[in-house]
Structure 1
Amino acid sequence: MTLQDIQIPFSDDAERGVLSCMICRHDVALEAQLELKDEHFYHPANRLIFQTIKTMVAEERPTELPAMSVFFMDMGLMDKIGGPATLAELYAFVPTPAHYDYYRDILKQKLKLRKVIEACTEVLQSVQEVGHGDADVLVDAAGERFYEIAAQEQTCQGTFKEKLMEYTNVWEARALGQVETGIPTRWRSWNATFGGITPRMWLIAGYPSDGKSSLAQGLVEDTLVHGGDVLWFMYEMDDTETIDRLVSSRSQLESKKVFFPQHHPLQQGEARRVSKAVGEMMNFGLHLRCEPTWTVEQIVAETRAMKRRNANLKLVVVDYLQLVPTAKDFGAKRSDQVAYISRTLKRDVSAANGIAVVVLSQLNDDGKTLDSRAPGQDASNVLFIEQAGETRDPVTRKAVKKEGGLRVAKNRNGPRGHLLPIRLEGASFCFEEREMGVVRQ
């Protein structure tokens, strides 16, 4: 069987069922013109009737049968839909307008099937045109096309009153400590500022060797400890180095003893700590993708596929932004490429799947995100890693001690500009929280 042999999927009965419900009840007509589009109706006469009813609704005309008959006659459309008998038949087609949801869902499914056939036809034509070209580019484009089909049918259900009732229940549960806004982290100041790791796009920026990966690792561990799954795209480190860091953190051993045990012999009991850490992590839902070739389109496809298989996926980490390639060609416009990648991660990874996405980024010499300002604009929360040291007061020119920590550059739901007392401890590659002014001995 070829694509040409496939019968176009549609249901004339379902189309007529929706139209019948719209004619019988004005409130259904109002609802349907918001939920459905012209393309949901495959039969030309049915589509014309739907378009006409939408026009009547927009002009605040009554949509009962007599008024509709007059309008069709005045517009010269009656013959195009099959005559007055067509409207009469539609009016009596369903026993009750309460069946509208049933017919509507059939139309949505039929349209989706037609779009799948259309997409398959486009993919087949592209294969014939590409021939021996880049298959990966074609696969990415096909995946994006099918994702668009799935996303088009997503609608927000429920009235505002229903949403308020649901909100009240959730808010009361929060106030009683029964549910968390996000996944709790090990850092109290982080939780107090952001409510944990919330399902948003996060941007963590810093200079080279500031510890961006280590901070992301802390968020990964906290998500795993609280039972969530994590998808981690790592562009600079391989599997072994990534696991080394996790073992160092979980065993609380200096990183050099985990990385290079042949040069830094373990003391009594330390090998047991490594084994215990490995055993604990056996049950972690961590999915490592330590390959530098993952395109942003592949990240979208992998996240979407994993979310379908595993509803427990809570966090995606991209380490780091400037190393992510794309199947699209932006030429020399590096800023446009980074902006596209950032926008895609926010829309198609975080928002589309309802999960947190932590994106790491380098800073340029001016303290701005490298290559583009778009990531800072797209992210809901932005943190800059600041190292402790000395700086000079711009007025007095005197040396001033600078506290290290995480600078809250953007906070969607709270204050910004302050410094969280969360700093990198070099021996363990972990970020720890302590009061400002307290120096670790």
Structure 2
Amino acid sequence: MIQSFNISKLGYNISCIQQLTDHIKTRITQYEEEPVTYVFKNEFFIDLLFSIFKRVNNTITDQHRMFREATDPVFYVKKKRDEYYSVFQKYCHGATSAAIFGEIICQKLKEPIEQSVYRQTARDLVDEMRSNCPSLNGNRSNLEKHILRRLAEEENFDKYINYIYDPKDHFKSFIRDEVSQYIRDQFSVQLKMNQNIELLQKKIMTAAHESTQHVQENRGNVDVWLKFFTQKLSDVLMFSLKDFSGVKHDDVDDFKLLEDVIRKDLPSITSDISREFSTDSFKIKLDVNNRSDEILIDHLCQCCWVQCPFCGAICTNTLENHDGDHSVTFHRMNGLMGGDYYGTQDLCVEFCTTLVASDVSFLESEKWFKFREYRTAGKVYEEWNITPDESKLPYWKWFVCKFQNVLETFYEKKIQNEGKIPEEWRKYTFDQAIESLEKKCIL
């Protein structure tokens, strides 16, 4: 959530803390409204706030510092002081206009180079993960398979509940964790950034050389040289003629010297940038939309997130607001969403696909509807196509056996009597549950 504030571009505002506080309070309230057997004290809320604010303090501070450096005139002048002084020294020592303009070009390239390297490294990380990371090298169904496998391995019931009740949030968290883990274990951010800045340096030097050739062959002036130079770099840098507004350069006519100055000064500029490269700076200096995790989230999570009104399974359509009915290949038992047998505290272990083939009824808005006629219960139901069949994923049979006691505590209900677990379900092992996911990748 902190990244969504985009503090590095918009600056810090006290409302950020208020929004974060309100978000935390809302999530706690939502959790308390679920069938839990405890209530959080006010002290818990305060302790949680302090813990979260302590964790995000450095991120907020670093991003606001970046905002001030980019927008505060005092910071800007301090940052540019050495650059301006260097130009002034050369002018006093009788340097030619071409030499001075060459140095100005290098100084103006510094920030675009830095941003380009960060953005390119983020894209490289995305490309590598989509090739090498099993959970992210397919579609959302493949991602969900890996999420369910991870949930089974960790045996963390709270994460299961987050997945069941807020699947999109859980998917996003999983992707962010995968990116962080990949950076820690398999991807050297600093090495990749150094490689990218070397490639960029070569492209800039090539552009300078080709610009010199262009004006010599066409008898152009400095404006022609600069226009050709910026156009050659437009696909790799956010760098244009507008960056030279107010910079006097009309007397520059020694283009070979201009090229030589850029060739000589550019390595020191890129060296200064490289010294600041780190995994931490990689996370901080990128705009939210350019972060690797957000790129992957945008790619994998732009799809339908409507959940089955009975079991909470996610529609498998790859388009948001798609035409036609919602559907899912494998439904789950109703009890996962707290569904019970009317008049009892017994959780329902029947799957949707079995119920819609029966004469059993369910209560909706104080009216009874038969499961086989579920579409008549209203909009949320009529938009779903639930096909009667016996396709039941063994994974969920294993899950309800594994977490029976925790489910009963969470919903304050029992899995018994009509909702008694069939004995054959208890024979499923962890390996068989995972194998069923592997065989049925489309969930």
Q: Is TM (by shorter chain) over 0.5? A: no
Question: Which structure has greater strand proportion?
Answer: 1
TM-score (norm 2): 0.21
Question: Which structure has greater helix proportion?
Answer: 2
TM-score (norm 1): 0.21
